[in-house]
Amino acid sequence: MPISRQVAESLGRASWIRRMSDEARALRAERGAGEVFDFSLGNPDLEPPQAFGEALSRVAADPARGTHGYMPNLGYPEVREAVARRASRDQGLEIPAGLVAMSAGAAGGLNVVLKTILDPGDEVLAFRPYFAEYLFYVQNFGGAFVPVDSSPGFRPDPEALRAALSPRTACLILNSPNNPTGRVYGRESLAAVAEVLEEQGRRTGRMPYLVADEPYREIAYRGVEVPSPMLAYPETIVVSSWSKSLSLPGERIGYVAVSPRCAEPKAIVEGLAFSTRVLGFVNAPALMQRTVAGLLDQRADVASYERRGGRLARGLREAGYEFEEPEGAFYLFVRVPERAAPAPADPRGPDVAFAMHLKERGLIAVPGVGFGCPGYFRLSYCVSEATIEGSLPRFAEALESWRRAG
Amino acid sequence: MPISRQVAESLGRASWIRRMSDEARALRAERGAGEVFDFSLGNPDLEPPQAFGEALSRVAADPARGTHGYMPNLGYPEVREAVARRASRDQGLEIPAGLVAMSAGAAGGLNVVLKTILDPGDEVLAFRPYFAEYLFYVQNFGGAFVPVDSSPGFRPDPEALRAALSPRTACLILNSPNNPTGRVYGRESLAAVAEVLEEQGRRTGRMPYLVADEPYREIAYRGVEVPSPMLAYPETIVVSSWSKSLSLPGERIGYVAVSPRCAEPKAIVEGLAFSTRVLGFVNAPALMQRTVAGLLDQRADVASYERRGGRLARGLREAGYEFEEPEGAFYLFVRVPERAAPAPADPRGPDVAFAMHLKERGLIAVPGVGFGCPGYFRLSYCVSEATIEGSLPRFAEALESWRRAG
């Protein structure tokens, strides 16, 4: 075996997002780009705001000595100050700069958090459907990933959460606005989650952390509030990034903020510094730290996601598809339609079967099994309006032919 | 326990480099900066070359769409092409672009490599003295770190290597030019190492990888050749960065190159892509990839390290200190002097005792125990010439008083 068994096995089970994106590429080569409508990747397609280019050029031209050198593992003190002020506003409570760690995006931040809090065998919970990478992040540190069923409408289910908790539960990862459902968890949902976690803490003496994965916080639709997990539950660690809000996913810049209401916030932050160092991040990229620090009130034209999502949702609804109304992020999580007459069960599962049915029509979606939820498929609408318009008649036809074929 | 046991224990054993750097800071506050001569940190103090600023400004001003977006986990294809050409020249054999992975510095690259090749319980070897972070990198993936004694003069000892190998040996990390000794391993050393590893492969069927950690390749002194590990041994993976050669340690940009002579190079590269993704790096920072790609023949004024190292070495030699002549990097690894008369053993160890003796005189060095070699101390000479000149009379006095006190 030239490589680690775990890595080799994981490679054998390539992610569904990746697989469908590869299918799209193959199909484009076969039929031409105009015949393929690719909703597979959650890849922000907006340009950064104009202020970003200006800030970047300014920082790039800064002749000060040492601007590309090492800084403390947690980041530049002045950048942490600025980010703490912004995070305090988002979270509705005062977060000192000392509780902020700059990270290589949210993915880097989540790995640093999990390395810091997990002992081997510890359990990490997340509601279905979930971002499939969580599973690998947890595996990196010898943890066990435990999916928890959601309520109808893809809200956190407090009873399912209670049943999934154990003395080995280290944390619950809560992702809102949610990938893949587009749901934003409201205050009541957070309160219900907090109540169950607190009860667990009282009973076992181990208060699970709430790890709030918030890279989509800035992409919530008009009128939808993204409430503060830190106000809902004391043992909260927020992970976020500028990948979506400033449309910089390739630059790997984000942060972790530890709630001042945690029982031992300083121990956590010391752990984050250590984990940032020894995982080889060492620090978040210097230039991007200094660039985003001046752009904390800027964002890319994220309203365009709402427009595009609205158009796609309206078209699919008219065609007869069923899904929860999107509230943020840039995904629709759609129910696999019923057949008109009972059909023999497809061995691939209904979601994979339907995704392949869509693919025959040039429509690329990701089966729900990739998020722990067969019976659904995900559409990412970071695509052009032309792609959306062009796809709608095909989606309508796909639904009709699927029903008839039953 | 608010954080992982392993992390908490590691925090309790703060690195000696960090501890001595903290001592320096405290001493500066107490006595004033002019009274402290801090040789603790291996922090490149040169500015990047002028061409870097120009390239960065050009890339920063590039109005092309998507330049801050995602790219494949292994990096931009054109950047990998350029890096492959340069690495081919360094290594003396043709490395296809498909065998290059862009990484977040050498520390990120090493973590990605170790995640890719280690099964839990696998062993990772390194010659003493070693860069202490290796230990944590290996621990991240459940590996066991096995230090191997060097020959006198800090060359790889083939017999010690043979004795340390086991069926669980996944790799040997070889760091040349070396931190902390400043030694460059010549062709004969590499050939001797290769012979032992190949013999192990033939005997056990498991050929250990040679992981060549080469961030200091560009900092070798005039007349000293840094030979190619890829030419010496087939199963070689090179990890490097631009942190030292372009003086960009805060920007986190480096690469991994897999030898085309490996039995299964493609499996390794697929593993590197996966590990880059799931460790949360996702990709090396986009902007820096594009910036360094145009600077592969540039370097910071690394000759100044040679000048400074030469001056420090001459001064210390005249004072009576003993060490191997530096051949590269920017460190001296100096023997703790003997006492004139037998003294009771210091419970802290001779290196810690001598480092504290130096500290009383405002001289900050790192005890060798921090590199697995008590009996020595490390001086990093990324410091000003004034610091070197000012330190020499104090080093001379420290040696005299240490001897007398014996």
Q: How far is A40 from chain B (nearest CA, A)?
A: 14
Residue A94, Ramachandran bin (φ over 0: left; ψ between -120 and 50: alpha; else beta): beta
Domain A64-293: give its CATH code.
3.40.640.10
Nearest chain B residue to A207, by CA: B2
Nearest Cα neighbor of B157 from B121, B185, B199 is B185
How many angstroms separate the CA atoms of A326 and A316, rounded? 12
Q: Where does A184-311 show beta strands of DSSP type E? A: 209-213, 236-241, 254-258
- Chain B residues with CB inside 8 Å of A287's CB? 56, 250-251, 287-288
- 3-state secondary structure (DSSP) of residue A322: coil
- A173: which chain B residues are within 8 Å (Cβ-Cβ)? none
Q: What are phi and psi of B218, to 5 degrees?
A: -80, -10
Q: Which residues of B touch A250 (CB under 8 A)?
A: 67-71, 283, 285-287
Contact status, residue B35 vs residue B237, Cβ threshold 8 Å: no
Given pLDDT bands bounded at 50, 70 and 90, which one contains residue A182? Answer: very high
* CATH number of the domain located at residue range(s) B5-48+301-404 in this protein: 3.90.1150.10
A-chain residues near B117 (CB < 8 A):
2-4
CB contact under 8 A, A48 and B57: no
Task: Give the residue-averaged pLDDT of A182-191.
Answer: 97
Tell me how far apart the alpha carbons of residues A172 and A198 are, in angstroms, rounded to a whole number.
12
Q: What are phi and psi of A146, to 5 degrees?
A: -120, 105
Report the chain B residue with the minimal C-alpha distance to residue A246. B68
Q: Across the interface, do A249 and B111 touch by the CB < 8 Å criterion?
A: no
Interchain pair B110, A250: CB under 8 A: no
Distance CA A74, CA A370 (A): 33
| Integer CA distances (angstroms), B294 to A123, B138, B288, in order | 46, 33, 10
**Chain A residues in contact with B283 (beta carbon < 8 A):** 250, 252
Interface probe with B: pick from A19, A56, A279, most Cβ of B within 10 Å: A279
Distance from CA of B287 to the nearest CA of A (A): 7
Print the SS3 string covering chain B. CCCCHHHHHHHHCCCHHHHHHHHHHHHHHHHCHHHCEECCCCCCCCCCCHHHHHHHHHHHCCCCCCCCCCCCCCCCHHHHHHHHHHHHHHHCCCCCHHHEEEECHHHHHHHHHHHHHCCCCCEEEEECCCCCHHHHHHHHCCCEEEEECEECCCEECHHHHHHHCCCCEEEEEEECCCCCCCCCCCHHHHHHHHHHHHHHHHHHCCCCEEEEECCCCCCECCCCCCCCHHHHCCCEEEEEECCCCCCCHHHCCEEEEECCCCCCHHHHHHHHHHHHHHCCCCCCCHHHHHHHHCCCCCCCCCHHHHHHHHHHHHHHHHHCCCECCCCECCEEEEECCCCCCCCCCCCCCHHHHHHHHHHHCCEECEEHHHHCCCCEEEEECCCCHHHHHHHHHHHHHHHHHHHHCC
Length of chain B: 406
The pLDDT assigned to A344 comes to: 84
Check residue A182 and give left, alpha or beta (phi > 0: left; psi -120 to 50: alpha). Answer: left
The closest CB to that of A119, out of B5, B68, B110, belongs to: B5
Residues in A closer than 8 angstroms to B70, CB to CB, are: 43, 249-250
Residue B140 to residue A279, Cβ atoms within 8 A: yes
User: Which chain A residue has its CA at the smallest distance from B248's CA?
Assistant: A68
Q: Which residues pair with A236 in a beta bridge?
A: A210
Q: Residue A391 and residue A36: Cα distance in Å, rounded?
A: 9
From A54's Cα to the closest Cα of chain B, the distance in A is 9
Q: Count Cα neighbours of B404 within 13 Å in the Cβ-side half-sphere.
A: 7
Of A111, A247, A271, the CB nearest to B279: A111
CB pair distance less than 8 Å for A105 and B282: yes
Beta bridge partners of A237: A211, A258
CA distance A26 to A266: 50
**pLDDT for A175:** 98
Q: Which CATH homologous superfamily contains domain A5-48+301-405?
A: Aspartate Aminotransferase, domain 1 (3.90.1150.10)
Min Cα–Cα distance to chain B from A374, Å: 23
Tell me if A280 and B111 make a contact (CB, 8 A cut-off). Answer: yes
Q: Which residues in A lie closer than 8 A to residue B288 (C-beta atoms)?
A: 285, 287
- Locate tokens 């080093």: which residue? B395
Of residues A65, A108, A283, nearest to B281 (C-beta): A108
- pLDDT-based confidence at A343, cuts 50/70/90? confident
- The backbone torsions φ and ψ at residue A210, rounded to the nearest 5 degrees and listed phi first, read -100, 115
Task: Compute the average pLDDT of residues A69-92.
Answer: 96
Give the closest-approach CA distance of A168 to chain B in angstroms.
12
Compare all CA atoms of chain A with the CA of B107 and give the residue at the minimum distance.
Answer: A280
Q: Which residues of B touch A282 (CB under 8 A)?
A: 104-105, 107-108, 249, 252
Tell me which chain A residues have a C-beta less than 8 angstroms from the C-beta of B6.
119
Test mutation, A68, A116, A206, chain B, max B CBs within 10 A: A68
Strand order in the sheet with A209-213: A100-103, A254-258, A236-241, A209-213, A169-175, A123-127, A144-148
Closest partner residue to B278 (CB to CB) among A3, A133, A249 is A133
* Tokens standing for residue B258: 């897999």
- Beta-bridged to residue A155, according to DSSP, are A151
Q: Count how many Cα atoms sit within 13 Å of the Cα of residue A345 in the half-sphere of its side chain.
A: 5
Yes or no: say if A193 and A155 are a contact pair by the CB < 8 Å rule.
no
β-pairing, A155-156 vs B37-38, is unpaired
| Number of A–B residue contacts, CB under 8 Å | 224
For residue B66, what is the nearest residue in chain A, using CA coordinates? A47
C-alpha distances in angstroms, A108 versus A133, A202, A362, B207, B255?
Answer: 12, 31, 34, 32, 18
Domain ranges of chain A: 5-48+301-405, 64-293
Strand partners, A209: A171
Is the ipTM reported for this complex over the cut 0.90? yes
Predicted pLDDT at A223? 85
Q: Give the residue from A177, A178, A154 showing the smallest Cα distance to A226.
A: A177
Hey, are the CB atoms on A288 and B286 less than 8 Å from each other? Answer: no
Tens-digit pLDDT profile for residues A288-331: 999 999 999 999 998 899 999 999 999 999 999 999 999 999 99
Per-residue pLDDT for chain B (406 aa), expressed as one digit of tens each? 689 999 999 988 778 998 999 999 999 999 999 999 999 998 899 999 999 999 999 999 988 888 999 899 999 999 999 999 999 999 999 999 999 999 999 999 999 999 999 999 999 999 999 999 999 999 999 999 999 999 999 999 999 999 999 999 999 999 999 999 999 999 999 999 999 999 999 999 999 999 999 999 999 998 899 999 999 999 999 999 999 999 999 999 999 999 999 999 999 999 999 999 999 999 999 999 999 999 999 999 988 999 999 999 999 999 999 999 999 999 999 999 999 888 888 899 999 999 999 999 999 999 999 999 999 999 999 999 999 999 999 999 999 999 998 6
Note every long-range contact of B158-166, with CB atoms under 8 Å and residues 24 or more positions apart, other chains counting. B158/B192, B158/B193, B158/B195, B158/B196, B160/B127, B161/B125, B161/B127, B161/B193, B161/B196, B161/B197, B162/B196, B162/B199, B162/B200, B164/B125, B165/B125, B165/B196, B165/B197, B165/B200, B165/B208, B166/B123
CB contact under 8 A, A3 and B267: yes
What integer pLDDT is reported at residue A14 of this predicted model? 75
> Do the Cβ atoms of B251 and A277 come within 8 Å?
no
CB < 8 Å to B73, chain A: none
| Confidence bin at A406 (pLDDT 50/70/90) | low
SS3 at position A147: strand
CB contact under 8 A, B137 and A278: yes
Computed on alpha carbons and rounded to an integer, the radius of gyration of chain A in Å comes to 22
Verify whether the Cβ–Cβ distance A43 to B117 is below 8 Å.
no
User: Half-sphere exposure (CA, 13 Å, Cβ side) for B397?
Assistant: 12
- Least Cα distance to B179 among B101, B110, B114 occurs for B110
CB contact set of B357 (below 8 Å; sequence gap of 6+):
B398, B401, B402
The length of chain A, given as a count of residues: 406
Closest CB to A7: pick one of B66, B248, B271.
B271
pLDDT, mean over chain A: 95
**Nearest Cβ partner of A247 from B45, B68, B247?**
B68
Compare all CA atoms of chain A with the CA of B50 and give the residue at the minimum distance. A63
pLDDT tens for each residue of A12-26: 877 899 899 999 999
